[in-house]
Structure 1
Amino acid sequence: MTDHKSRRDRLLQEHVHDPYKTRMKLAEPTLCPECGALYRHGRWQWPTVPVPEEAHRETCQACRRIADQCPAGSLVLEGEYVAAHKDELIALTRHQQELESGEHPLHRIMAITEEPTGGLTITTTDIHLPRRIGEAIERAHRGALSFHYEPEEYFIRVGWKR
């Protein structure tokens, strides 16, 4: 008779999910009454056809995060360079957000705050946008980029300094 021992390497670790993400699959189509995004074909997207009147209504997680003022990511821009090039950095930030949210409506900037030190803090509704913006700024303006992801909190902190 074979002695079967349980294998610890096969235990699945619990994956931490976004606490704002809907646990159940939404009825299709579902319209966010706040931003107009449409849940269709298993994901949130911007409507490309007229939304049926009978579409369900539910606020998307990005709009809930904005209402609760609970960002999923932040990008902090620091250094003397930031104050001297603030308008360029904000324009690049907005451009990256437009590119990202065009395909992913839940990836949005919540706020761009000017700090007393001359830096900028950008908060977002998701964990991907701060990284995308930070990498675009690093490519265009050089500097030092850092990342700190906190999976248990579903939050990313991105820092850029020059």
Structure 2
Amino acid sequence: MNDHTRPFKPGEHKPVYPGLEDDPYALRSKLSEPSVCPTCGAVYHDGRWQWLTRPEHAKEVVCTACHRIADGVPAGYVHIEGAFAADHRKEVLELVNHHAARARAEHPMERIMAIETEGDATVVTTTGVHLARDLGSALKSAFQGTLDLKYGPSDKLVRAYWRR
């Protein structure tokens, strides 16, 4: 029986795009060096994206973070809810922005895409799973509450739910 004729079983995950089970935004091969992102100015050097001075004659390649932002496809979501979070929204968002700025300085591909508030809930979307997880952990560490992390089947997507 092939994949298309056998019955679906609960808990079974089938790829949305067969053959692209990994992150479709991940590099498939090393870029030529030096390369620079024309959108944000990050430089691909020594096999990774860094904040460096733009080298002469660098090839222009849109970085993973800018690609995700342009497509509107986050890798991480941080759901912030609860009466405490609503009453202390300013302090909560200051902490989120502070941690995001520190992460971005060290890891150019880890950025906040958007912060949207509706009623008492706020959702922060990120370009990387690590930033979303770290923001949830920072909120729990600073303000207590509960943190629940839910990863997608390939660990290329995370949803962090923090509530207090």
Q: Indicate the residue corresponding to 1:111 in structure 2.
A: 114
Structure 2 equivalent of residue 148 of structure 1: 150
Tell me if 1:73 matches 2:76: yes
| Residue number in structure 1 paired with 2:101 | 98
Note the alpha carbon deviations across 1:21-75, whole angstroms, 9 max, x for none. Answer: 121210001000000000000000000xx32221000000100000000000000
Q: TM-score, normalised by structure 1?
A: 0.86
Q: Percent identity?
A: 44
Distance 2:134 2:128 in 1: 11
Is residue 24 from structure 1 mapped to residue 24 from structure 2 by the alignment? Answer: no
The answer to whether residue 40 in structure 2 is matched with residue 35 in structure 1 is yes
Aligned positions, number: 146
Asked if the contact 1:16–1:151 (Cα under 8 Å) also holds between the matched residues in 2, the reply is no
Supply the distance in 2 between the matched residues of 1:103 and 1:153 (Cα, whole angstroms): 22
- Contact 2:68–2:127 (8 Å) recurs in 1: yes
TM-score, length basis structure 2: 0.85
Give the 4+ runs in structure 1 shifted more than 4 A.
none
**Please, which of 106, 129, 135 is the counterpart of residue 127 of structure 1?**
129
Query: Could you list the runs of 5+ residues in structure 2 that have no partner in the other structure?
Result: 1-18
Query: Is contact 2:110–2:130 with CA below 8 Å preserved after alignment?
Result: yes
Please, which of 136, 146, 161 is the counterpart of residue 159 of structure 1?
A: 161
* Higher CA-based Rg: 1
Q: Deviations over 1:85-140 (max 9, x none)?
A: 00001100001011111110000000000023x11100000000011111111111
CA contact (8 A) 2:149 2:159 kept: yes
Tell me the CA shift for residue 19 of structure 1.
1.0
Specify whether residues 150 and 23 from structure 1 end up closer, same or farther in structure 2 by C-alpha distance, changes over 3 A only: same
**How many Å separate the matches in 1 of 2:63 and 2:153?**
21
Letter of the 1:91 counterpart: E
**What's the secondary structure of 1:59's corresponding residue?**
coil
Q: What SS does the corresponding residue of 2:129 show, helix, strand or coil? A: coil
Q: What is the SS of the residue equivalent to 1:102?
A: helix
